[in-house]
Structure 1
Amino acid sequence: MNVFKALGSNLKSLSRRSKHDTRLLAQWPEEPLDLPADRRGGFYPATLGDNLNSTYTIVQKLGWGQHSNVWLAKHEGHTTQAEVRRSQNIDCTRNASAMQLSDELGLLQLVREVAGKSRNPGRRHVVTLIDSFKLSSTQGNHLCLVHEVMGRFPKVNGVGLPIPLVKAVAKQLLQALDFLHHECHVIHTDLKPDNFLVKLDNVETAVELQKENLDPIVSGISPKLSRPAILSRPLRALSSGELLNLVQSPKFDVQLTDFGTAVATNGLHPELIQPFALRAPEIILGREFGTSADIWNLGCLASLIFEFLTGRWLFAPRGGPTWTAEAYHLAHMPGMAGEEFDAAYFRTAKHFGEYFNNDSKLRLQVEGKPTLEKALRNYNIVGDDELPLCISFLQSMLRLRPSDRAAATDLIQHDWLKV
């Protein structure tokens, strides 16, 4: 689950809510526990010390997102240190009647089953389901997913990560996708930094470092709200300073999480997937997608790898007086991809006519299209000696036609990851 989104990241969804809901949400520093499921609420109203399923005792709140709130919990009945380190990260999903979700539990169970028989190194970089059960509350029924406790992926505001670390993260994520695509036959659909978590060497130490002289419970937010809010305290794997000084990364073990929108390759696929700024061209134009959509997303993990390298987004779609954000996004793709759209392939896409003229040219044209090379040179992150390899690596994921994108299996062997 995406558990580390700040309230600000939900502004787009907030704008679609009623004024009453927005005013109520504005009073909540955390998830809106007073809203029912049919008004974009339905969150599980947990409190510190609660016992879940007669097995897990809540000791700290780690975060919340669009679909869940997340809690640090301890397994009851075991006092050994090893068992304490298995404090559980519990995702309590919102009442399923509030939205249509993928079969997250089924896919996680499938991934766990395949991982148990696989030797693919990518299995170690995909979150493992430990337990699951259902809860009931005044808000409805909730599915709880229990995972190993992990730390938030570090954020370095406006500054890129060290290149050796970027390569290590890229390789681990490619291994995860190779395992998901070729052995589990699953498309993740939602690759973004919020969904990359880092394994913790010592959970107890991480919890101690997070302790602050602040009351975790905020009461008296509004006399109209019946419950106090419990503040989120996500665990950090590394501080920003430690991260920037990290040249070698043998202990930086990344896992891909949040299968809330994942789908089977041969199952039903929704029309829209992926974060807006990372959306593949076939998704915007309305064509069927496959595992290569994840590769674009990772290559936009060219956008995300670019973000790791520079601290900036590769694409920043925005609307204007006569164009939409989607048109702006598509207009900037050829420059970054180093190729033009194959109109013959995309002509059958559902929304082709919205963005292309009768002569198969994009309706919105931009002058002086920024290129990937120019963007990387502007930030002076990658040296001239490996810049061509870095561009080759990124553009092999950013091919506009899905079938032209390199598979994760091949990208793992790319020369840029070896220099």
Structure 2
Amino acid sequence: MSVKSSSSHSSSASSLIHGFPEEDLRQEGKDNPGYFPARLGQSLQGGRFCIIRKLGWGQYSSVWLAKDKKENQLLALKILTCESTQALQASGADQRSDELRMLQKIATAQPIHRGFKHNLKLHDSFEFRGPHGPHLCLVTDVLGHSVDYVRKLNDNGDLRLSMALTKRITKQVLYGLEYLHDVCGIVHTDIKHDNILFRLSDVDEVVAHELVAKPSVAYDAGSEVIVPVVPVVSQPLPLSLENTISPTQLEAVLADVGHSHWHDHHFQELIQPGALRSPEVILGYPWGTSADIWNLGCLVTELLIGFWLFEYSPNGDKWNAEEDHLARMTEALGTKFDASFLSKCKHSTNFFNSDGSWKHFTSHEEPTWLLEDLLANFSSVDLGKESVEAAGQFLRRCLRLIPEERAQARDLLEDPWLSDA
């Protein structure tokens, strides 16, 4: 499996006039929630951290590689936008995240636990003021590419992963979830491809090589354009100096608890990426750590077959997308929702009649295939019949419609399918 990366280091002047090539850094930019316009070589926290590379950015933050001069080590700085910083500091009903306290809990709760190393470690945090307002900066481990990057390495567009790699990722994510659920009391709620990252084989070695081979750069606006802020190119780090890397060398880390919730305190009730959303969330039934298990089951299936398990959509005025999603769950699992369970769900009357029949849905012209048929027909060529059956049995322990019936992370770690992972 190739692990090398490539980046484009140029941008036309017009793109800088009408919008920045990455996050919007314009002072009056309509899409700027208050990103910090960091510069290569810039120092933060009284000179302790020196920024040496931009690793990436997202809706709520940008991430930078920095040298910690105090501890003489390389770390990552996740600089939250002003809006995200304010949201994190809100209280009561206005609070939407508790990322800092969760990271502090993860870093200190039980470092000897087997799942500790499969979660992102917080080293420090600090606040500072930028041109748009205050920023919270989270200082963490340096990580490499995500599962999303790895699954897109095939030149032919095949998004499937091998059985061996899927098993390894699954087992390591379960270690991480066991720690979050049983030790920290955290429900992740956002387990997706780009939130599962891999550790670098040797951080110092990889960084030293990359800074020479592919120096950190900013975008070139052209001499005819004068910009008040110079945007920096995102240059993620490769996992290794080798052209290929064995699945047995990969160590997965569950990252980004920005959307996570405490098991006994939720900031909102609508959670999870839509395609990975658990039935109890749609139906208005109390959710907890088992929502992560459903989420994981959907994701693992996708890694094996190369596409979403549930591809749903509304059908005009006949039924909405959520009802379609629920119907496809029953098709993939070859079952139906229990009427006694539905009676305990706040939103069940939006989709079901009192006897448990569908309120609007009739039938699909192209129904979702049964889980085992999807695995047998679409999973990677290295899967034999026994492997497909074992994978299906594992996934059915994750994908139970009633959340209390799903296996917990610690139980799934003992599943026969993962015995050789």
> What range is the shorter-chain TM-score in?
0.7 to 0.9
Distance 1:25 1:167 in 2: 47
Q: Which moved more, 1:379-388 or 1:135-144?
A: 379-388
Shift of 1:259: 0.8
Q: Separation in 1 of the partners of 2:224 and 2:279?
A: 45
Counterpart position of 2:219: 217
How far the C-alpha of 1:220 sits from its partner, in A, is: 5.5
Query: CA–CA distance in 2 between the matches of 1:333 and 1:181?
Result: 25
Deviations 1:309-339 (A, max 9, x none): 2332222233342343322211111122332
CA apart distance, 1:264:
1.0
Q: Distance in 2 between matches of 1:39 and 1:417?
A: 44
Aligned to 1:286: 284
Give 1:230's aligned residue: 232
The question of whether the paired residues in 2 share the 8 Å contact of 1:104 and 1:260 is answered with yes
Gaps of 5+ in 2: 1-14, 89-94, 153-157
Q: Quote how far apart the aligned CAs of 1:275 are.
A: 1.0
Match of 2:116 among 101, 104, 123: 123
Contact 2:173 2:253 in 1 (8 A): yes
Q: CA deviation at 1:134?
A: 0.5
Q: Which residue of 2 aligns with 1:195?
A: 195
CA contact (8 A) 2:23 2:32 kept: no
Q: CA contact under 8 A between 2:216 and 2:233: conserved in structure 1?
A: no
CA distance in 2, matches of 1:191, 1:305: 11
- For residues 75-126 of structure 1, the C-alpha deviation after alignment (integer angstroms, 9 at most, x for no partner) is 1256xxxx4xx3111101111336853111111111111123xx42111111
Q: Which runs of 5+ in 1 are unaligned?
A: 1-22
Is 1:338 the equivalent of 2:334?
Answer: yes
Distance in structure 2 (CA, Å) of the matches to 1:318 and 1:239: 43
Q: CA RMSD in A?
A: 2.7
**CA 1:348–1:164: 2 relative to 1, 3 Å:** same
Deviates more, 1:137-146 or 1:260-269: 260-269
Cα–Cα, structure 1 residues 161 and 209, in superposed 2: closer, same or farther, change >3 Å? farther
Shift of 1:384: 0.5
Q: Which residue of 2 aligns with 1:242?
A: 244
TM-score w.r.t. the length of structure 1 is: 0.83
**For residue 168 of structure 2, what is the aligned residue in structure 1?**
168
1:37–1:97 contact (8 Å) kept in structure 2:
no
- Which residue, 64, 67, 73 being the options, matches 2:66? 73
Give the C-alpha shift of residue 410 in structure 1: 0.6
8 Å contact kept, 2:36–2:135: yes
Deviation at 1:413, TM superposition (A): 0.3
Task: Indicate how the Cα distance of structure 1 residues 239 and 282 shifts in structure 2: closer, same or farther if over 3 A, else same.
Answer: farther
Tell me the amino acid that sits aligned with residue 254 of structure 1: A
Which residue of 1 is the match for residue 10 of structure 2?
Answer: none
Alpha-carbon distance change, 269 to 102 in structure 1, aligned in 2, over 3 angstroms? same
Which amino acid letter does the alignment assign opposite residue 181 of structure 1? H
SS at match of 1:132: strand
Relative distance call for 1:102 and 1:37 in structure 2 (3 A) is farther
CA distance in 1, matches of 2:17, 2:264: 38
What amino acid maps onto 2:137 in structure 1? C
The separation in 2 between residues aligned to 1:212 and 1:165, in whole angstroms, is 28
Q: CA deviation at 1:228?
A: 2.3
Q: Displaced runs of 4+ in structure 1, greater than 4 A?
A: 23-26, 35-40, 220-225, 238-241
**Amino acid aligned to 1:143:** L
> Does the 8 A contact of 2:188 with 2:260 survive in 1?
yes
The 1-side partners of 2:217 and 2:120 are apart by: 31
Aligned length: 382
Task: Please point out which of 140, 144, 156 is paired with 1:151.
Answer: 144
Q: Distance in 1 between matches of 2:81 and 2:222?
A: 24
Aligned-residue offset at 1:385: 1.7
1:239/1:383 CA distance change after superposition, 3 Å: farther
Q: Structure 1 residues 215, 47: CA separation in 2 closer, same or farther (over 3 Å shift)?
A: closer
Tell me the SS of whatever aligns to 1:90.
strand
Counterparts of 2:28 and 2:57 in 1: how far apart (Å)?
16
Aligned partners of 1:218 and 1:230 also within 8 Å: no
Which of the numbers 350, 361, 368 marks the counterpart of 2:357?
Answer: 361
TM-score (norm 2): 0.83
| Shift, 1:240, TM fit | 12
| AA matched with 2:34 | G
C-alpha separation in 2, matches of 1:70 and 1:241: 25
Q: Are residue 379 (structure 1) and residue 378 (structure 2) matched?
A: yes
1:42 aligns with 2:29: no
Q: Closer, same or farther in 2 for the Cα pair 1:401/1:115, shift >3 Å?
A: same
